[in-house]
Structure formats: C-alpha cells, structure tokens
Amino acid sequence: MWKRIARHRATTLPNLATFFAQVFDPSIEDDDEADVLWIGTAPQAISTVAALQVQLAGWATIPAALVARLTREQQAATPPTPLQRWTLQLLDGA
C-alpha cells in the first residue's frame, strides 16, 4: 500500500490558489521514476486542505501538524495582487 511511502511533501501555492503534493517511492533509485504522484499542479486545482487530503487518500496521510500549518498558511494568505490575478488568468486560459 502506498501509505507506507516514507517521503511526501505538501504545501500551498497561494498565488495560484492551490495546494500541491508529491509522493515518492523511496525504494526506487531513479528520481523521475520515484515520483509516483504529483497533484495540484493547475491553478485552483486543490483549494482546501480537506480536498488535498481526499486526493492523497490511498497514497499518503498528511501529519496533523502539517495539516494545521497548511490551514494557518491558507487563512493568513493575502489576496493576490493585480499582477498575480493577471498571471492566474493567463495560466487558466493556457
């Protein structure tokens, strides 16, 4: 089961209004092959920590301390600047 994977990371990309996560299989030596899951790469793809947890179900569990930190970061995020909104619109149209 992928829940045994030792290395994973999750963070927020506030300017893109999404969370992303990568899951790696440490038993695979080649870095490209070891990256078994990468989600949240599109703007607004995963908008909440709860949605991130659902997307990771079966792959990895986010530790409670990280869930709390991501939630705090999202709550403290400032609205995007005009340039960031323009970039988000540009990326959304790509």
Q: What's the domain count of the chain?
A: 1
Task: Give the count of alpha carbons within 13 A of 58, CB side only.
Answer: 4
Query: How confident is the model over 25-52, as a mean pLDDT?
Result: 88
Note down the domain range covering 59. 2-93
Look at the pTM and tell me if it is higher than 0.75.
no
CB atoms within 10 A of CB 71: 14
**What pLDDT score does 7 carry?**
47
Q: What is the pLDDT of residues 44-92, one digit of tens each?
A: 889 899 999 999 999 888 999 999 998 998 888 887 788 878 877 887 7
Q: What is the pLDDT of residues 4-21, one digit of tens each?
A: 333 445 555 556 678 889
**What pLDDT score does 53 carry?**
94
